[in-house]
């Protein structure tokens, strides 16, 4: 009898992808991809790179596999399963977790169904074919049950939303180190990001772009502004700095800071605001009252919450208003591991 390969465990694999649906009613269709090496039909997805956030990976992998640029809508159910392969004489077994979002197609011609395959896309060893399939027929073509479950959830998910990100500032220089370096009289609002925090701020560029963020606000403290400034520079906009949500100002006049953040929450454009850890408890409770939901406060440096607000559009497709309430879907943008 042939030898049975020894089973060994491999590190947990994290991946991310999107579900792209276009059309209306019974004409809705979803994009699936064919992988020649596995001879399967599945959803566009791929592994998260080292240091990459899940949301950024979902957008990047969708573009790499399909040639379609997207932004992220609401999150979908996460798929958990085990993958196996052969490495030498061993059968490698690894747990895999795939995070999915409902994707919004940026190209209007593809979104409208006028174009099926993006210009310049060509099959390769990884993805051999793209196919738009009616929702009523796609389940019979999909290879894996978990893809069917994710698509079913995507078909029922809200499609017209506008994201509002609340970001905790990235890792800052320690207060004692800052005072020892510049003196006890230096204002704490001048305390900068640490080297790790600067790297986290750079990683947030792709993450915020993944949600299509257009407006960037922040506490006027340096560590908050510098957390979101790299993305604002990438976008070509200025950071709107608020003195009212610095730690000291918020401690003295919390109602003013709450008012300003709630005002931002109610604005229709996809936007983000960077805040401090000591202010998040009161701010998140205020947002929780607005949405009628409990808001988890466990955010580490450079982590964020996304409030997917129901949106209303004008005849040109521009968002003109958002509705804040129980329909607001809350996403916790934590690190993948």
pLDDT at 255 over 80: yes
The reply to whether 51 and 124 lie within a common domain is yes
The reply to whether 204 and 126 lie within a common domain is no
Q: If we measure between CA atoms, which residue out of 287, 151, 146, 302 comes closest to residue 223?
A: 302
Is the distance from CB of 131 to CB of 34 less than 8 angstroms? yes
pLDDT digits (tens, 9 = 90+) for 114-155: 999 999 999 999 999 999 999 999 999 999 999 999 999 999
The reply to whether 141 and 256 lie within a common domain is no
The reply to whether 55 and 192 lie within a common domain is no
The reply to whether 276 and 216 lie within a common domain is yes
The reply to whether 166 and 149 lie within a common domain is no
Boundary of a domain, candidates 116, 138, 156: 156
Q: Total domain count for the chain? A: 2
Task: Estimate to the nearest angstrom the gap between the alpha carbon of 331 and the chain centroid.
Answer: 8
The reply to whether 171 and 130 lie within a common domain is no
pLDDT at 325 over 70: yes
The reply to whether 231 and 293 lie within a common domain is yes
Indicate whether 249 belongs to any domain: yes
The reply to whether 170 and 201 lie within a common domain is yes
Residue with tokens 């979803």: 30
- d(CA 172, CA 224) in angstroms, rounded, equals 9
pLDDT number for residue 335: 58
Both structure tokens of 300: 């580490």
Indicate whether 129 belongs to any domain: yes
Domain CATH number, residue 99: 3.90.79.10
pLDDT digits (tens, 9 = 90+) for 279-323: 999 999 999 999 999 998 788 999 999 999 999 988 877 899 999
Q: Which of 6-10, 157-161, 264-268, 273-277 bottoms out in mean pLDDT, i.e. has the lowest?
A: 6-10
pLDDT digits (tens, 9 = 90+) for 162-182: 999 999 999 999 999 999 999
Indicate whether 109 belongs to any domain: yes
The reply to whether 81 and 184 lie within a common domain is no
Q: Tell me which residue range forms the domain holding 304.
A: 161-333
- d(CA 310, CA 163) in angstroms, rounded, equals 9
Domain CATH number, residue 204: 3.40.50.1240
The reply to whether 140 and 171 lie within a common domain is no
Boundary of a domain, candidates 105, 121, 156: 156
Indicate whether 29 belongs to any domain: yes
Instruction: List residues bridging with 47 in a β-sheet.
Output: 15
Scored b (16 or more CB within 10 A) or e, 121-143 reads eeeeeebeebebbebeebeeebe
Indicate whether 1 belongs to any domain: no
pLDDT at 192 over 80: yes
Is the distance from CB of 288 to CB of 295 less than 8 angstroms? yes
pLDDT number for residue 165: 97
Whether the CA torsion 231, 222, 243, 166 is positive or negative: it is positive
Length of the chain: 337
pLDDT digits (tens, 9 = 90+) for 10-64: 689 999 999 999 999 999 999 999 999 999 999 999 999 998 999 999 999 999 9
Both structure tokens of 271: 């936007």
Task: Estimate to the nearest angstrom the gap between the alpha carbon of 217 and the chain centroid.
Answer: 18
pLDDT number for residue 1: 38
- d(CA 160, CA 84) in angstroms, rounded, equals 38
- Half-sphere CA count of 214, side-chain side, radius 13 A: 9
- pTM, entire model: 0.93
pLDDT number for residue 303: 95
The reply to whether 165 and 305 lie within a common domain is yes
Boundary of a domain, candidates 121, 156, 191: 156
């Amino acid at each position: 009898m042939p030898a049975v390969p020894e089973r060994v465990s491999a590190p947990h694999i994290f991946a991310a992808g999107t579900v792209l649906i276009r059309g209306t009613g019974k004409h809705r269709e979803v994009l699936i991809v064919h992988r020649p090496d596995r001879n399967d039909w599945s959803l566009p997805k791929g592994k998260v790179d080292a240091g990459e956030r899940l949301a950024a990976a979902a957008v990047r992998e969708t573009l790499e596999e399909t040639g379609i640029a997207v932004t992220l809508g609401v999150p979908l159910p996460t798929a958990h399963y085990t993958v196996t392969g052969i490495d030498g004489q061993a059968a490698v077994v690894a747990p895999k977790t795939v995070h999915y979002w409902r994707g919004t197609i940026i190209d209007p011609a593809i979104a409208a169904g006028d174009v099926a395959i993006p210009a310049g896309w060509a099959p390769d060893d990884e993805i051999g074919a793209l196919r738009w399939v009616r929702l009523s027929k796609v389940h019979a073509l999909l290879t894996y049950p978990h893809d069917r479950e994710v698509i079913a959830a995507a078909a029922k998910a809200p499609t017209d939303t506008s994201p509002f990100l609340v970001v905790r500032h990235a890792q800052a220089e320690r207060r004692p180190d800052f005072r020892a370096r510049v003196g006890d009289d230096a204002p704490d609002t001048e305390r900068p990001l640490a080297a790790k925090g600067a790297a986290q701020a750079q990683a947030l560029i792709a993450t915020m772009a993944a949600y299509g963020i257009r407006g960037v606000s922040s506490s006027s403290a340096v560590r908050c502004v510098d957390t979101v400034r790299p993305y604002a520079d990438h976008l070509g906009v200025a950071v709107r700095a608020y003195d009212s949500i610095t730690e000291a100002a918020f401690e003295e006049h919390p109602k003013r800071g709450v008012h300003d953040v709630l005002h931002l929450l109610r604005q229709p454009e996809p936007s983000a605001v960077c805040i401090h850890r000591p202010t998040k408890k009161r701010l998140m409770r205020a947002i929780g009252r607005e949405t009628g939901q409990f808001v988890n406060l466990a955010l580490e440096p450079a982590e964020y919450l996304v409030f997917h607000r129901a949106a209303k559009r004008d005849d040109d497709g521009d968002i003109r208003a958002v509705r804040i309430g129980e329909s607001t879907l809350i996403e916790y943008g934590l690190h993948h591991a």
